[in-house]
Amino acid sequence: MSERKKARMVGFNHVAIEVADIDAALTFYHGLFDFKLRSKSESVAFIDLGDQFLALQKGHTPAAADGRHFGLVVDDKEAARKALNDAGIETLPGPFLDLLDPWGNRVEIVGYDNIQFTKAPNVLRGMRLEHLSKNETAIKELADKGIAPK
């Protein structure tokens, strides 16, 4: 008897977070990051991330996240740090650049250069981010898996 083949997880299409107010959430996130709005209604907004998106869904305000979080990749982590400081947003203690948004969603901000996550060259071109590259640590991690960029 053959074992049933399972589908393999290959990535994320989107991440959805709950917010109490769509317009307030867009104002908050736009105060920190440059982004293009894919679409918006009274109950949901879609922030474009090239071939992915962040969905802001109107809902209840969840309890503040502790371990539950998502990692938001940025082209310039230091620019994100400055925007947080300029906005008076306190980062969470620890080795990462983490924050809680006004609805308790924990966001870990990570720099594109320092992680294995890689956008395809055509997506980077479309996002006008073709200048981004990986640091030596990230390249080694990717090379160890046989998937280093050329």
Q: What is the 3-state secondary structure (H, E, C) of 24-74?
A: HHHHHHHHHCCCEEEEECCCEEEEECCCCEEEEEECCCCCCCCCCCEEEEE
Are the C-beta atoms of residues 54 and 40 closer than 8 Å to each other? Answer: no
Using alpha carbons, select from 83, 115, 101, 124 the residue that is nearest to residue 24: 101
Q: What pLDDT score does 124 carry?
A: 93
Using the CB atoms, write b or e for 38-56: b if 16+ within 10 Å: eeeeeeebbbebeeebbeb
Domain residue spans of the chain = 14-144
Rounded CA separation 100/66 (Å): 9
Distance CA(101)–CA(18), nearest Å, equals 11
| Average pLDDT along the chain | 92
pLDDT of residue 1: 61
- The arithmetic mean of pLDDT across residues 120-129, rounded, is 93
Encode pLDDT of 48-90 as tens digits: 999 999 999 999 776 776 778 999 999 999 999 999 999 999 9
What pLDDT shows up at residue 125? 94
pTM to 2 decimal places: 0.87
* Fold classified for 14-144: 2,3-Dihydroxybiphenyl 1,2-Dioxygenase; domain 1 (3.10.180)
Q: For residues 70 and 15, is the Cβ–Cβ distance under 8 A?
A: yes
Bigger pLDDT: 14 vs 7: 14
Read off the pLDDT of residues 24-54 as tens digits, 9 standing for 90 and up. Answer: 999 999 999 999 999 999 999 999 999 999 9
Task: Confirm if 142 and 118 have CB atoms less than 8 A apart.
Answer: yes
Whether the pLDDT of residue 111 is over 90: the answer is yes
